[in-house]
Amino acid sequence: MSNVNSFPTSAKLLHWISAVLIICMLFIGVTMIQSLAVWQNSAIKLHQSFGLLVLILVFLRLTNRFFIKTPDFPSDLTYLQSLAAKSTQILLYALMIALPISGLLMRNAAGLPVSFFGAFDLPILVAEGIKTYSLYREMHGLIAWSLFGVIVLHISAALHHGLIRQDSVLPSMLFKFRSRK
């Protein structure tokens, strides 16, 4: 049992930066694959760079978890509820890691590197091949839609905790802007 009821600022910052980035990336992703607009090519390039940034942030968060105390779930949650909460968290992390990696690999399979904001290119990890490309391309789409689905569950649950149950879960990830009592 931990004796904290809130995440530390480091975890909150990482969570909210990732949240904004990932949701923007999902919306830009589904839009740009249809768009014929002049901004489309820049969007694709930024999508690749931000994808790598998100991946770095996920690993930072996982590392950070070793050093921080995380609040426990409220004691009145049923076994099933905490199981659902726990597995959603694990699924979120798994998808957040798999999504940028599938994107990186699909680009590599098309014979192209991923650039990080033009500063450097990541090494090419898989050989060029149209079938490999398809595998990672379709995975990238499926993972993106799955991640969106799990994010919907995640936000719904957070709002349920905050507005209906009114327990400690939602405030544990929110910044307190007013001075503490």
CB of 119 to another protein, least distance (A): 12
Nearest to 121 by CA among 111, 135, 132: 111
Q: Shortest distance, CB of residue 66 to another protein, whole angstroms?
A: 28
For tokens 């909210």, name the residue. Answer: 16
Q: What single DSSP character describes residue 70? A: P
Q: How far is the CB of 159 from another protein (least distance, A)?
A: 5
If one asks whether residue 80 binds another protein (CB under 8 A), the answer comes out as no
Give the C-alpha separation, 161 to 14, whole Å.
Answer: 21
Which residues from 47-76 bind another protein, rule CB under 8 A?
74, 76
Alpha-carbon span 107 to 22, nearest angstrom: 19
Token pair of 124 as six digits: 């090419």
Interacting residues toward another protein by CB under 8 A: 26-27, 30-41, 44, 74, 76, 110-113, 121, 124, 128-131, 133-135, 137-138, 148, 152, 155-156, 159-160, 163-168
